[in-house]
Structure 1
């Protein structure tokens, strides 16, 4: 009886094909172009907008497929609840630390002390003015109700990640609860997610 062949060692990608190297190179190139040819750098703005839009295009499907695939294949839904609770606690703790750091920086370094501007005299455009009015008129219940999408397709079309995440959690739990009947659909969703990662 022959022993199974050892798995082939994973080949590491060369350093110049690593994503972080390209990100750092892009930042450095942006600084150089902005310093040497600022007018040309401004004309490159459509390239940046197009790239960001291309990334945003696949974020919602990737979030949906990843969450649905993960929840649908868990043996015990209580594990999902525990992980979710830990995630919420971690999120709240890190957010509180960030708020405390912000308060410390504001009170110690006092940024903006040298700016002598009258906030009442500032003129804002219509878009910003609409956001200000909306923020004043909405209460805490608005944030809770906004989590639930009016339409699943609309949540994907608008790129509202929180609403997509809400639906993904419900859909993943539903697939998990129906058992073997939902296994094929869960596997299909996971394959779609793999393809979306390749698009990314």
Structure 2
């Protein structure tokens, strides 16, 4: 993708530091933590601010995904291209999702964060996790596949199910490819609509500091920082494992594909901070799609890889599941043989698919995994319920970064990556608006 040269200044203009969205989000998170710690009741009362912002973003996700995919696929003009992108994306997802599960399993066996706790499962409050277990029981592979198909063509947009919107968008995009030139008037309307939708994203992102402030104040106010101290070994191990996965494994992938993981993280710093503040990677999905396109990734690849990755490429969730499952086993003195651990990993590979990047999804998926492997007591999840919210933030950030890397890599594999534009984005040489994920004239159509 080439941006309109006339819309770019000869040199990036610099705003004062306090005008940058990422600075505002950082400040909001710090203020939220202070309010939640010193005035916990007030912090809990601020929950609607975070929930309201996430609802605003979710409101716009369906049209963003639909318009991006339809205009992107229609611009490809070939069904072979669609199949190629989907095939390479799922090959990437399967490889690194499995690798994340294995990493969590290995770290849990080496560090053994639950060893020595000697918890009797009979003393645990199973009722605390009953709701999660019931939701997990309702989850099955057949149910997941059937849930991809919406009841009607428009119900996917009404319910906000990402996979249903993706399904409808792909069908619509393929139909426009088959129609050919006669679909050009409709394509022109969709391209114009996408300009308006991304302008809405621009407007909504201005409220990001308010949402981050409310969400973080609630988290600290309700659970307290002291909740982390009680299970510091598990939380610390998880954060360290996620950091190593990002830096070592994803960093190596980035290096082999000609870019730096650290520069990519810097480029997406505003969105990462937003994910940290809201504990939901969905809160930054529209901005991620926009910024990856601005970084030189082809629109069809962005439109297919990012939304699909939010359900099938959840590296953070996968690390969490095997690590947390073995923590519970160790804490309750439940011995697991190598064969049982492999079974646990295989079950987790299936149950992790379709877990959307929203708060609590990882916990529900863990319940689904443990319910299939009865050796580990599901009641043991009560041990980590108090700190799950803190681990949710790390899960979401790892998932988010993993999908950003996947988008660049698949774009490169497809020969649909503008190297010069990627380097400009990662080196901070794009216009200021691009750095803040704000589009002055909307995304460039392909």
TM-score range, shorter chain: 0.7 to 0.9
| Contact 1:152/1:164 (8 A) holds in 2 | no
CA distance in 2, matches of 1:109, 1:170: 47
Structure 2 counterpart of 1:3: none
In structure 2, distance between residues paired with 1:103 and 1:171: 41
User: Which of 107, 110, 119 is equivalent to 1:108?
Assistant: 110
The answer to whether the aligner puts 1:123 opposite 2:127 as a matched pair is yes
2:148 alignment partner in structure 1: 147
Distance, in Å, in 1 between the alignment partners of 2:118 and 2:169 is 46
1:134 aligns to 2:138 (yes or no)? yes
Q: 1:132 to 1:173 in 2, by over 3 A?
A: closer
Distance 1:27 1:133 in 2: 35
For residue 30 of structure 1, the aligned residue among 27, 32, 43 is 32
**What does the per-residue CA deviation read over 1:7-46, in whole Å, with 9 as the maximum and x for residues that have no partner?**
4642445254444333323322222222222221111111
| Cα distance in 2, alignment partners of residues 81 and 143 from structure 1 | 22
In structure 1, distance between residues paired with 2:22 and 2:178: 40
Aligned-residue offset at 1:144:
2.0
Normalising to structure 2: TM-score of the pair? 0.40
CA offset digits 1:127-155 (Å, max 9, x no partner): 435314323xx4x3222222211212211
The 8 Å contact of residues 77 and 180 in structure 2, kept in 1 or not, is answered as no
Tell me the residue number matched to 2:198: 197
Equivalence for 1:183: 184
Aligned length: 192
Structure 2 residues not aligned, in runs of 5+ = 202-446
Measured after TM superposition, the shift of residue 111 of structure 1 is 3.4
**Structure 1: distance between partners of 2:79 and 2:183:** 15
Provide the C-alpha distance between the structure 2 equivalents of 1:88 and 1:18, rounded to a whole number of angstroms: 36
Larger deviation: 65-74 or 27-36? 27-36
Distance 1:112 1:154, change over 3 A: farther
- Give the superposition deviation at 1:115: 6.4
Partners of 2:149 and 2:167 within 8 A in 1? yes
Match of 1:159 in 2: 160
Q: Which has the higher contact order (CA 8 A, sep 6+)?
A: 1
| Higher Rg | 1
Distance in 2 of aligned mates of 1:157 and 1:34: 34
Q: Quick one: distance in 1 between partners of 2:160 and 2:127?
A: 30
Matched residue, 2:47: 45
Distance in 1 between the 2:118 and 2:14 partners? 50
Map 1:38-77; keep pairs closer than 5 Å: 38-77=40-79
Encode CA deviations 1:158-178: one digit per residue, 9 max, x unaligned. Answer: 110001001100100101111
Give structure 1 stretches of 5+ with no counterpart. 1-5
**Is 2:74–2:173's contact at 8 Å kept on the other side of the alignment?**
yes
Question: For the structure 1 residues 125 and 8, does the alpha-carbon distance in structure 2 shift closer, same or farther, using more than 3 Å as the test?
Answer: closer
2-structure distance, mates of 1:58, 1:47: 17
Conserved in 2, the CA contact under 8 Å of 1:68 and 1:172?
Answer: yes
2:62 and 2:14 map into 1 onto residues whose CA distance is 28
CA separation of 1:125/1:41 partners in 2, compared to 1, >3 Å: closer, same or farther? same
Query: Alignment RMSD, CA only?
Result: 2.4
Q: Deviations over 1:26-68 (max 9, x none)?
A: 3222222222222211111111111110011000110011000
- TM-score, with structure 1 as normaliser: 0.83
**Aligned counterpart in structure 1 of residue 90 of structure 2, from 76, 88, 91:** 88
Query: Contact 1:69 / 1:186 at 8 angstroms: preserved in 2?
Result: yes
Q: 2:35, 2:58 → 1: CA distance?
A: 25
